[in-house]
Structure 1
């Protein structure tokens, strides 16, 4: 059986958060959703549960971190440098904030950040497949 990950995130406005994640390519799974939360599916193995603050508080008594704090950074692989840019642009167009951390370009790896409307940080990144195998290519050869 494939292991799955369910990332649970508190959100202030469920409809706004749902629209943001749909713009990034997530699909809504109504079977695991209601008026207090929505299951947003990225792949067979990766799901994000966006939960209203009252629903979130049924899971923990710990406070929801204030906007601008650093709670977690969620790195996500994509297929190309252009896909990194497209994901950040889509998020920014749907209520997110692009590049809250400076973009990083190491030649064999390229990443940017997008902050969702509730302050959660996503880091889409591309890595040269040759680098994963231990043989990075020349930076000029890997640019789109």
Structure 2
């Protein structure tokens, strides 16, 4: 069998706030999921993203402890156009989420911005500056 990337799982301490953040990015997350310990959403390419509470993880890995320091990975969401990067960044920061880097035109040809989700994970927004 050929390996296929299929699933990303993020740990959360505040499921409701985290799901609010990702819903604002356009992910379809079932209503009422805020009270669950495990929530999944399928992305447009079939890859799944999930959020698990710390309690859920400790139910099968009691010794688990949260990492410290800066995040070592980030998620990136492609926007349809540069203006969408600015709009989504503004919507999220106005809703009280942490904007790490305001939108800018990156030298590699993209409109780019970085935020942190409620758990401190990096979430980048980008769009090509010119259409191919």
State how 1:102-121 maps to structure 2 within 5 Å: 103-105=103-105, 106=107, 108-121=109-122
**Could you say which residue in structure 1 is the equivalent of 2:20?**
19
CA distance in 2, matches of 1:59, 1:43: 31
Give TM-score scaled by structure 1 length: 0.70
- The RMSD of aligned alpha carbons is 2.8
CA distance in 1, matches of 2:62, 2:75: 21
Where 2:123 maps in the other structure, the secondary structure is strand
CA distance in 2, matches of 1:85, 1:43: 22
Equivalent residues of 1:95, 1:116 under 8 A apart: no
Where 1:63 maps in the other structure, the secondary structure is coil
CA distance in 2, matches of 1:87, 1:46: 22
Misfit runs of 4+, over 6 Å: none
State how 1:52-63 maps to structure 2 within 5 Å: 52-57=53-58, 58=60, 63=65
* Count of aligned pairs: 125
**Could you say which residue in structure 1 is the equivalent of 2:86?**
85
Which 5+ residue runs of structure 1 have no aligned equivalent?
A: 131-144
Q: CA deviation at 1:103?
A: 4.2
Which 5+ residue runs of structure 2 have no aligned equivalent?
A: none
Deviation string, structure 1 residues 30-77 (Cα, Å, up to 9, x no partner): 7x99721211344242332111012234369553223x5122111221
**Could you say which residue in structure 1 is the equivalent of 2:47?**
46
Q: Which range moved further: 16-25 or 36-45?
A: 36-45
Give TM-score scaled by structure 2 length: 0.75
